[in-house]
Every structure is written in C-alpha cells, then in structure tokens.
Structure 1
Amino acid sequence: MHKASWGMLFAACLVFATGAFGQQGEARILAAREAIRTGDRNTLERLAQQPDTHLLDPYVRYWLLLNKLARPDAPPATELADFLMQEAGSVLAERLRADWLRRLAKDSDWAGFLRLYPDLQSPDREMRCHHWTARLMNGDRGVLADVAAQWHDLTDAHSACDTVLRAAISSGDVSADDAWWRFRRQVENRNTGNARSTLAWLDDGDSGALEQAMKSPAQYLDRLPGNFATNRASRELALAALVRLVREDMPAAHVRLIRLQDRLGADDRAYVYSALALRASWAQDRMARDWFGAAGDIPMTAEQRAWRVRSALRDNDWKAVLGAIERLNADEQQESEWIYWRARSLAGLNRRAEAEALYARLAGEPHFYGMLAGDELGRPFVVSPHATALSAEQLRLAEDDPGLRRAIALFQLDMRTEAVREWNWSLRGQDEVFRLAASRLALKYDIFDRAINTAELANPKGAFDLRFLTPYRDLIEPQVRSQGLDMNWVYGLMRQESRFVVPARSSSGAQGLMQVMPATGKWVAGKIGMSGYHQGLLSEPNTNVQLGTSYMRLILEDLDNHPVLASAGYNAGPGRAKRWRDARPLEGAIYVETIPFDETRDYVKKVMANTVIYAAMLDGQPQSLKARLGTIAPRPDAQ
C-alpha cells in the first residue's frame, strides 16, 4: 500500500481510538485534524489540554481557536492574542489573524478590524476589501478615491468589496461611464452575478431586463422597441445582449448588429465589433481581421489587444503584426512573447538588424521565447552539466529552519495543503542560497514538487539539476521504450502535469503522475487490452504511467506524429488539436501562439520548453526548439 494510503488509514483508525484515552505525537495531531473537520468541539478541547512537545502542537491549538471563532459566542480575544504572540511570525499566526479579521468583519466590528489589520502580512483580495469597508465605516471617505483609482482592476473583485464599490458610484468618485465599463467587462466575462450587482448600483438599471438579455439574447434583441437607444441603460442592455449572442452564435450577432447599427453610436458599434473580433480570433475565422479593423481605436481589454496581434500572426501578415504590437500598452510590449514576435515581424519586413537586437534580449533565457530567439541567432539551447553546489552549513540552515521542519512533518502525515502553506511561508524573504538549500531538503524527502518550485523561485535561469528532476525513471523508462516515445517529451509533459506528485488530483478529476482522467483511463485500458482495470488503479504509479504513456502514443499516432499537436491534444483533447490547424501549412510556433485556450497555449509552450531542457540535460547536446516545433500540416478537409 502507498504511504499516503497508510496515512489515511491511520487517521481513520484514530477517530475510533480517541475515547477517554490520552494521545500523543502524530496520533494526537491526526485526531485533532479529524475533529476540526467534523466540528467535534469536545475532542478538540480535550486534545488541546494534553501537553505535548510535538513539532506540530501549535496546529492543535490553532484548530481549537478556529473552532471557537466559528461559534456564536464572542471571540476569545485574550486567547487569540496570546496565540498570535506565542506563534509570532509563523504561518499559523497569519492564518489565525485572517480568521479573526473575517469574524470581526462578519460582526461589523470595524474599529476592532482596523486595530488588528496592520499586522496582517499578506492580505488577500477579501481582506483588502474588508479593510476598505472598515475605513469607510469609520468615516474615512478618502477610501473612495482609492477605490476609484483602482477601479479598472476591480472588475471581478471579491463580494466583500460591494459596499465600497457601490459607495464610490453613489458618491460620484466613480463616473457613470466607468460604472458601465465595469458592467460591460463583467458581461464579456460571463460573470452575470457581478454584472447584476453593478447594474443594481446604477439608478436606471433593470435587473429583470438583464436576465432576459442573458437568457435569450436573440429574442431580446428582436423585441427591442424602436426608441431603445434613447436611454443609456436600455442601450447598454442591448449591447450586453449582442455580446452574449456573439458567444452563442457569432453570425447571428453580426446580423443583428447590422440591423441595429443606425441606432447605435460609433463607439457602441466599435465595442461590439471588438467582441466579435475576439470571438472570431478564437474560432480562427478570417473575419477577425476585418472586425478588429471595424473596432478601430475603441479601448480594448488586454486579451483583445493580444488577439489582434495573433489574428495578424495567423495570416503571416508581418506588417499587421508589428502594427498590432505597437498598439499594445507599454508594459505589454515588454513581455517576452511580444518582444519575440516584434523581432519576427521586423525580420519579416527585412529590418534584420533591429530584429537581431531584440532576439539578443531574449536569447539564452530558459523559456519558450528565449529558446526561439536563440534559434533565430543560431544559438541552440545548452545546459550546464554542473550540479548546484552548496556547503554543509548552507544545507544545515535549511534543515534547521522551524517552518521547513514543520512542513516536512506535515508532508509525512499526508497533510499536503498545510505542508505547502508552511513551506511557502518559510521561503518568504529568503535569499537564493537558502532557497536552493530548501530545494535540496525537499529532494532528500522525495517532495519533488517543492524541490522544483523552490529551485525555480531561487534561480529561474539555472539550477537545472533541481528544477528538472527525473524521478521514477525505473518505472517510466520501460514504458517509454515499449511505446516508442521520446523520454525527454514524456518527462517534459509529466513535469508540467503533476510535478511528480503521485497523489496529485486536479479539480476536473485527473489523477496521478500523468494526470489521467477517469474516462480516458478506461478508454486507454480498453485500447491496450488491460484486464481488471478499475478507476482506483489511476492512483497506482505503474498503472498511471502505463496508461498515460499509452495515451501519448495513441494521440501522437492520430496527430501526424507531431509532439506539438499531441501535447495540445493531451491537454485539450485530440479533436480540438486537429481543429486548431489551418487550411495551409503553419509554422509550429504560430500554431502554438494561436491556440484559443489560454491554459492549453501556456501548457504546450511549457511542455515543449521542458522537452528541450530535458534533452539538453539527458542527451548532453545543444537543442533547437524551433526544429522540434517544426511545421503543422493543414487540416485534412483543407487539402
């Protein structure tokens, strides 16, 4: 049985063993965790009263205080303050302070909130919203100017911000135009709940009409009265219906825009065209270019600006690519992807010297665009063969760190969520050497994801021996050979999927080292004739790797034996990977850049860059990413 399974069985047994008997050590920690999970107040009280010197003893006390905060009684201020003082600087002190602040906000004790808040070291979105509310409720009207200054970053703010957002509109600190801007963005993002809230804060908003526009946009538009555009709210709801219809039926939305365009202003028409252009770009429809042109200079989202570049890129129109990049904002133009594609567009326009200067800014960087830039300069990617050197004293500092020690103890009890919090908290403010030593410590205990992530935090341009690990090789290599796959690609994909965490499970249900979905596992098992397959086998490393590598082979064979297509297919499904091809041969890098799904586009870039790095390490030879990306053949229906 896997060690994680033993840990869960042990924890389950402890629930029955609590009774009237005292518990110590790990047994006490696991019993307390089960008690907080089930809301067992009496067991928590009893376990907290048992003195123990266990490294994780503060967790028992924290869970008891968390339970007390959830009770209807007044918060035990003295006990809470004592814990914060005793555990000062720890992740548990930070968490308890945030828990206490939430309770104060729930109780509308805004004065108490303001007294406690300054010591919170890493406030999240919810806490920042509560802080704004506390300031407003204590008479600080200046907070409304602060909200107005950040308005365009608050489109999807936490609901705790609702009070100050509404007040900023009512006070006039946020204009009606900006309020309607927020409404539009929420409609575009299909965040109907937030759009409904914003509409309610506007005096002439009609939430009933919004529901109709979102539920049946075509019918809503077809029933509009002739004078709908004379009222701002009615006009905005018509635009909302058009944008909603763009997602459901792009041609139908365009037809209705043409029908209504004489009653809409130029900016309103341009706004809808920007929505049509984005949707057409995702669908890789040639109309995207025309519709971006029709949108003109209307303010666009970052996503729309990026896809204006990608739609030109898909057409190999280097002049249009350069023009679209120059219409990005200043910060966006400095992102590595747009530096690279700006260089490519300059090269395509025979401005080679300018292009090479930009390539040189990226070349050698161990990421997708740095590798491509190096290829353009004739500098294939190489990795130093030397291991990261650390002294015994440097390693000892990490081993003796209280937070890292607690994290390892939590990992050993299969308490991953708590362990990762402890680990990450302990790395805050630490220098590169300490983080590299922490990475070595994680590797010592086979905590591969922390080893990789910590080394990346320490040195994102080096430490390849820690960032690109090759664990489980004894079970991976035979499967790779039997499937006829590239070991570098398999490791590159597995690293991206799970960071080599055996019990990894995604929100969608994918499991194990290769994050195999249950339905996929069943299908592959049938294809390869695996007898006795059941879903529980996905958590077993050997079976998971066998199914994952078999699936890689099956989709590779179905997708022109092209690793770019197969990587996209592994993440988003082979059918989508096929549909994303063009009617003509397409450069591999352009195919990747124009994948419509953000997650899949980022995934393929990372898998292919990982593959190059693993190849440089395992083969010991310079590697070309551009050669691996190659050319994507046209769709069969276009040939």
Structure 2
Amino acid sequence: MQWTKILTPLAASALLAMAALPAQAQNSGDDTLLEMQQAYRKGDRKKLTQLLPAARGHVLEPWAAYWELRARLDEAQPQELQDFFTRYAGTYQEDRLRNDWLLLLGQRRDWARFAELHPHYRMGDDREVRCYALYVDLLQGSAPPQMAEEVRRLWYAQRDADDGCTHAADQLYGEKKLSAQDVWRKARLAIEANRGRAARNAVAIVASDALPGLAQLQASPTRFLLGRDAKGRATSAGKVRQELATLALTKLATSDHEAAARLLEGTWSTQLAPEERHWVWGVIGKQAAQRLSEDALVYFGKVARDTDLSDEHLAWKARAALRAGQWQTVRKAIDAMTPEARQDSTWVYWKARALLASHPGEAERQQARQLLEGIASPRGFYEQLALEELGQPITVPPAPAPLTAEEKAAARANPGLNRGLYAILLGLRSEGVREWNYTTNLHQSGGMTDRELLAAADFACAQQVWDRCINTSERTRAVVDMAQRFPMPYRSAVVARAQGIGLDPAYVYGLIRQESRFIMDARSGVGASGLMQVMPATARWTARKIGLAGFTPDQINDRDTNITIGTAYLKLALDDFAGSMPLAAAAYNAGPGRPRNWRNGPVLDAAIWAENVPFSETRDYVKKVLANTTTYAALLTGQPQSLKSRLGTVGPRDASTPDPSRDLP
C-alpha cells in the first residue's frame, strides 16, 4: 500500500476505511456525520456548529463543514467562504457551496461579487446560475450572440419559478430581445404544467395589470371564459384579454378538454388569433391523446400550422397518429419539432418507420436507412429496434480489454470516488451519489476518459454499489462493457426462483435493474421496498396467494423473500396478460387496472402501444425493462436476441378466455 503515502490524509483515510466499512456506523466519527446530516435537514444551525469540531479529520469532513456553513450562508462572512474554498479546494463540497453562494449573490443583485466568483464555478449545470451569468454578461457588454435564445430555452425548461431566469427574461424583454409572445408562451407552459407561480412571474413581466385576471382564471377558468369576474361583472377585452383567454382555455383543457373544445369552437373561435387557437387545440389534442381518445387527431386536425405547437404537443400528435396508423401525420408532426426534439432516438426511429410505411421511393428508403443507422446499437429500446429494422440481431458487443492494475489503482486512489462510496455505504446515499457523480463528471483533464469511467465503475461494482457501477459504465461512448452495465448480482437466487415458476430470468433481471439498480434497501416515494420494489399491501396479497406462511411486512427487505414475492407477482401479472411482457411490465409499475384499460382499442404493434402509454414514468419504464431484458438474454445465453419477438402486439383481452387474476392488485 505504498500509494497511500502520496495521498492527502483525507483520501488515505477514506481508502483505508473503505476496506472494512460495515453497513452501520463503524465509529463515533461516523455517528457524528449521521447526526449532522439530520441536524442539517432540520435546519438546526446551533447543533451543526456544536458537532463540527468532532468531525474534523473524518473522511467526510468536507460534508460536515459544508452543512455547517451552508445552514448559515445568508449571514456568513466573505472570508469564511474563502477559507472554505481554500481548505476544500477541488472537492464537490467546494463547488457546491460556490453554486449556493452564486445563487444568493444573484438574489441580492451583487453583480460585482458574482462576476468575480463565477469563473471559478466548475459544475456549470445550474440553470438559474447560468441565467444570472448571462445577465452579468449583458451588463458588461459581453453577452454571447445567442444570449436571448439561451435565456428563453433555460427559462422554458424551468418548471418551477426561479429568480435567475425570470430576472434575465424580464431584462431582455425590456430591451426588446424577447418578444411579448415569448413571455406569454412561458406563461402558457407554466399553466399547462400547473405551475401557478411561474405563470404569475411571466405575466408580471409582460402585463402586470393583468395579474388580477390571471388569478381569476386560475380560480375558475370557465367563469373567466364566459366573461364574468368573481362578482359577476363583465371582464375587459383586448389583446391581453385574448392571451388570458388562451391561458384560461389551457387551464380548463388540463381538467376537461371536451369543455375547453366546446368553448373554443363556440365563444372563442373568432376572438383569438390563429396562433392562440392553434396552441389551445394542441393542448386539447394532447389531453385527448393521453386519454387514448379517437378524437385526439380530430382536435390536432384543427391546427393549420404545426410549428405553433410545443414539442410536447407534437409528440402526442405523433403518438396519436401512430395509434391510428396515419403515417403521413406522424412524419409531419416530427418534422415540425425543434431540431433538439427530432434528434431524440424515439423520433428518429418513428420518422424512419413513417418514411418506410407507404410505398417509399428510393430516396425515402435511403433516408430511412440513414436515420436507422444513426441510432442502431444494443444500448436502448429504439436503438435495438433500429438494429432489427436493419436486419441485424441484438448481440453483446465484444468486451473491452481488461482493466490494468494501474487503471484500477488510479480509481481506488481517487479521493472523490472514495468519499462518495464511503458516504453511500455509511447511509448518506444522496450525498454520496452527488459526490460520485461530480467526480466522474469532472476531472482535471476536463472529463474522465472511457477507460477511467470503466475503472470507476469497476470500483463501485467491487463495493457492490450497483447503481453507481451501472450509471458510470453507461456513460462510456467508444468502448462498452455490457457485462458491467448489466450486472447480475444474486444470480443463483434470481435464476433458480425465476426458472422454478416459469419466468425468463432475463425478464426478472431486466425489471430489477430498472426498479432498484440492485440496491437492497431501496425504498420508493410511495413505499415500495427492496430489490423488486414491492409495496407492503401487494406483498401481503402475494404471500397469501402463493401460500407463504408466516409472512410479515418487515421481511420485504430480506433478499430472498423480496425475490420470491416479486417474481411471484410478476408471474401472476404475466399470466393475467396472456404472456405479454409489455403489459405485465406496465402492470408492475402502474398497477394492473391501468394497462387493462390502456390495451382497449385497436390491435397495435407493442412498440406503438408502449409509446402511447399515458404516464411518462410507465412509458419509459416499459421500454427500458424490455430493452434490459433483451440484453440480459444475450448475456445469459450467449445467443443473438430479438426485442421485437418479446414485444409482439397488444390489443383487447379475448373475452372468450378466462381472466386468471382479476383480483390482482
């Protein structure tokens, strides 16, 4: 262990501690860190200050010092901050505190200090800080040529209200670098996302005297649209009135799209500008498409100019057209998206399919082939489907050259990786994940190379921190280690249990990888637990169903019990949906009642069905589980695989067949 001599004391102690760190706190220093984390979450400044001396010299001292100073940042002296930056130079905590300080300086409008500090900010991933920085550039006369476009993009991407981008947008609007329509569109996006404060901030920029009207339409969009205020008085007319009506129709459509359609076709058909009408029809069409209504394309058909719609509206127009088999509409909707949206593999794939769908000429076939070749790989759902469209099976690419002892040692000597793993294994998962991600994202040379990422992933794998192993390995580009990206912990238990009840082990692994990333103590926001993320009520029902005697909810986190119950439920779901892997995966994620409804309608290619799943989380989940399954099958069997064969088709249940598990929760 001679290499420890060249490390800082913090790094060396981290490495030495990693070798013997148990699941629980191993010493009083660990206890102090855990206590400080709780005090920080509670905002207990006094306790943090009292505990900080006991954390000095600990591997995770940077976290202790960060919590203590961050809790009183609003009253900290500049010298204290500079001392922190110096003592913890190069760490995640240094840059995290700098990020926090930049936000506070922006809120205080202390542009001189902001400009002095910002060049040292390494993360560069905070949208609000970026907006403040662009505003400072504007003040200094050094704004980049595309500043207004960047501010608009950042502002639109912020779902919650924030000071930085709102302030920058306000200034740009005042200088006529953002138009009134740009600002009203932000308000529309906020209303559609049910972000009332963000909508208010936008309206305050362009028409502050309209804020009472905004409050009225948010309280009762129908009353506003019928022309009466809260006291029954007629409301005003004019351009602002049109924009407020557009917001009101948007608000109404999110809860009752049919009522919004009636009002738009009646009272408001001649009172709104074409662009305003098109936007509202886009919202109505999206809402109808999310309900799998056949009327969705009727509503979208009332839009004369697709470029008046948002990318989200156009995505749902394309999905509705896929469901209806209207390939020309699919193609037109994708063509109207922004360049960034069109580059997503989802729309690259469906654009290619649309080109090939109806008697294509040589030019269309060539364009489709180029699109498919641009995304084809074994790495994801549409990437795998693109391979198959090109006539290629899905196989495991050759493994990269084994990591050398030197490459592994370099990863194990990295202080940030050590602190990240130490924190995770101590129970400070959120903090550890953030430090790990920061360390793998940033490096003295400007970013980890593929080989360095593989070595970092290998370090996490060796400590059985599977989520960091997978996520880090997934970031390599030129070299791919599929066995590292798709590990198989607890292989004997998973394979034996799956095969024992007639499940494909690859399907089980594909689901676990998406559910928990193999974190044994994973717990979701809704209470699901363990490797297979089983809900307590579901676990009790399944235990009774399979005759698991003596089961109690506290056993959910036991590895073997979790696998037993999770696989049993998955098999019951698979049987309930006649062996359809996409439907069973959707049932596992969203409950069986929803996919029972979602399957009604035409018989669809399951890829089209999956793309039309109304819930974004479940839509993403189904696609990832099936792609994972195909990769795991290739790894387990060593044979070429087909994603299409696992997808099949999805349509209504055959009424003549019995429903095996109607009580499936």
Is the TM value for this pair above 0.5? yes
The structural deviation recorded for 1:163 is 3.1
Q: Write the letter of the residue equivalent to 2:280.
A: V
Alignment of 1:9-48 (within 5 A): 10=25, 25-34=29-38, 36-37=40-41, 44-45=48-49, 48=52
Alignment of 1:401-412 (within 5 A): 401-412=414-425
Alignment of 1:101-500 (within 5 A): 101-105=102-106, 108-123=109-124, 124-131=126-133, 146-147=147-148, 150-155=151-156, 157=158, 158-161=161-164, 162-203=166-207, 205-224=209-228, 230-260=237-267, 261-298=269-306, 299-351=308-360, 353-354=365-366, 355-384=368-397, 386=399, 389-427=402-440, 428=442, 429-459=447-477, 462-500=480-518
Of 60, 63, 74, which residue of structure 2 is paired with 1:59?
63
Q: 1:558 corresponds to which residue?
A: 576
Question: Contact between 2:59 and 2:419, CA under 8 Å: does it hold in 1?
Answer: yes
Q: Write the letter of the residue equivalent to 1:240.
A: L
Q: 1:549 corresponds to which residue?
A: 567
The structural deviation recorded for 1:125 is 2.2
Q: Write the letter of the residue equivalent to 1:288.
A: A
The structural deviation recorded for 1:498 is 1.0
Q: 1:508 corresponds to which residue?
A: 526
C-alpha distance in structure 2 between counterparts of 1:143 and 1:362, whole Å: 32
The C-alpha deviation readout for 1:500-548, integer Å capped at 9, x for no partner, is: 0112222333322112234433443443444554443333323322232
Q: Structure 1 residues 450 and 296 mapped into 2: Cα distance closer, same or farther (>3 Å)?
A: same
The C-alpha deviation readout for 1:230-279, integer Å capped at 9, x for no partner, is: 41222222222222222222222222112111333333322222222212
Question: Contact between 1:367 and 1:609, CA under 8 Å: does it hold in 2?
Answer: yes
Q: Write the letter of the residue equivalent to 2:213.
A: A
Q: Structure 1 residues 585 and 504 mapped into 2: Cα distance closer, same or farther (>3 Å)?
A: same
The structural deviation recorded for 1:45 is 4.7
The structural deviation recorded for 1:287 is 2.0
C-alpha distance in structure 2 between counterparts of 1:318 and 1:51, whole Å: 63
C-alpha distance in structure 2 between counterparts of 1:132 and 1:147, whole Å: 9
Report which stretch shifted further, 607-616 or 297-306.
Answer: 297-306
Q: Structure 1 residues 6 and 346 mapped into 2: Cα distance closer, same or farther (>3 Å)?
A: same
Q: 2:82 corresponds to which residue?
A: 81
Paired positions, count: 620
C-alpha distance in structure 2 between counterparts of 1:409 and 1:582, whole Å: 49
Report which stretch shifted further, 167-176 or 407-416.
Answer: 167-176
Q: Structure 1 residues 243 and 46 mapped into 2: Cα distance closer, same or farther (>3 Å)?
A: closer
Q: Write the letter of the residue equivalent to 1:167.
A: Q
C-alpha distance in structure 2 between counterparts of 1:359 and 1:175, whole Å: 38
User: Can you give the 5+ residue segments of structure 1 that lack an aligned partner in the other structure?
Assistant: 15-22
Q: Structure 1 residues 570 and 168 mapped into 2: Cα distance closer, same or farther (>3 Å)?
A: same
Matched, 1:527 2:530: no
Aligned-partner SS, 2:279 = helix
Q: Structure 1 residues 618 and 94 mapped into 2: Cα distance closer, same or farther (>3 Å)?
A: same
Aligned-partner SS, 2:301 = helix
Q: Structure 1 residues 128 and 522 mapped into 2: Cα distance closer, same or farther (>3 Å)?
A: farther
The structural deviation recorded for 1:379 is 1.6
Amino-acid identity (%):
36
The C-alpha deviation readout for 1:102-156, integer Å capped at 9, x for no partner, is: 44445554422322222111131232344456667x7769699935653244135
C-alpha distance in structure 1 between counterparts of 2:215 and 2:38, whole Å: 43
Q: Structure 1 residues 400 and 276 mapped into 2: Cα distance closer, same or farther (>3 Å)?
A: same
Q: Structure 1 residues 402 and 537 mapped into 2: Cα distance closer, same or farther (>3 Å)?
A: same
Report which stretch shifted further, 51-60 or 619-628.
Answer: 51-60
The C-alpha deviation readout for 1:462-516, integer Å capped at 9, x for no partner, is: 2011000010223323432343211101100110111101122223333221122
The C-alpha deviation readout for 1:50-87, integer Å capped at 9, x for no partner, is: 696443333333333334435x4xx2333331231232
Q: 2:597 corresponds to which residue?
A: 579
Question: Contact between 2:450 and 2:479, CA under 8 Å: does it hold in 1?
Answer: no
Q: Structure 1 residues 218 and 49 mapped into 2: Cα distance closer, same or farther (>3 Å)?
A: closer
Q: 1:93 corresponds to which residue?
A: 94
Q: Write the letter of the residue equivalent to 2:147.
A: D
Q: Write the letter of the residue equivalent to 1:275.
A: V
C-alpha distance in structure 1 between counterparts of 2:190 and 2:145, whole Å: 21
Question: Contact between 1:497 and 1:514, CA under 8 Å: does it hold in 2?
Answer: yes
Matched, 1:596 2:605: no
C-alpha distance in structure 2 between counterparts of 1:530 and 1:407, whole Å: 39
C-alpha distance in structure 2 between counterparts of 1:584 and 1:99, whole Å: 52
Q: Structure 1 residues 213 and 532 mapped into 2: Cα distance closer, same or farther (>3 Å)?
A: farther
The C-alpha deviation readout for 1:392-432, integer Å capped at 9, x for no partner, is: 11111111112122222223322212221221222121111
Q: 1:17 corresponds to which residue?
A: none
C-alpha distance in structure 2 between counterparts of 1:235 and 1:350, whole Å: 44
C-alpha distance in structure 1 between counterparts of 2:155 and 2:55, whole Å: 47
C-alpha distance in structure 2 between counterparts of 1:210 and 1:68, whole Å: 37
The structural deviation recorded for 1:576 is 1.6
Question: Contact between 1:584 and 1:638, CA under 8 Å: does it hold in 2?
Answer: no
The C-alpha deviation readout for 1:441-461, integer Å capped at 9, x for no partner, is: 111111111111111112487
Question: Contact between 1:204 and 1:233, CA under 8 Å: does it hold in 2?
Answer: no
**RMSD of aligned residue pairs (Cα, Å):** 3.2
State the TM-score, normalizing by the size of structure 1: 0.88
Q: Structure 1 residues 306 and 638 mapped into 2: Cα distance closer, same or farther (>3 Å)?
A: farther
Question: Contact between 1:144 and 1:164, CA under 8 Å: does it hold in 2?
Answer: no
C-alpha distance in structure 1 between counterparts of 2:55 and 2:605, whole Å: 66
C-alpha distance in structure 1 between counterparts of 2:630 and 2:114, whole Å: 51
The structural deviation recorded for 1:616 is 0.5
C-alpha distance in structure 2 between counterparts of 1:103 and 1:359, whole Å: 47
The structural deviation recorded for 1:436 is 0.6
Of 583, 607, 625, which residue of structure 2 is paired with 1:607?
625
C-alpha distance in structure 1 between counterparts of 2:352 and 2:381, whole Å: 15
Q: Write the letter of the residue equivalent to 1:219.
A: R
Q: Structure 1 residues 315 and 442 mapped into 2: Cα distance closer, same or farther (>3 Å)?
A: same
Q: Structure 1 residues 59 and 529 mapped into 2: Cα distance closer, same or farther (>3 Å)?
A: same
The structural deviation recorded for 1:221 is 2.4
The structure with higher relative contact order (CA 8 Å, sep 6+) is 2
Q: Write the letter of the residue equivalent to 1:634.
A: P
State the TM-score, normalizing by the size of structure 2: 0.85
Q: Write the letter of the residue equivalent to 1:617.
A: L
Q: Write the letter of the residue equivalent to 2:246.
A: L
Q: Write the letter of the residue equivalent to 1:328.
A: M
Question: Contact between 2:457 and 2:470, CA under 8 Å: does it hold in 1?
Answer: yes
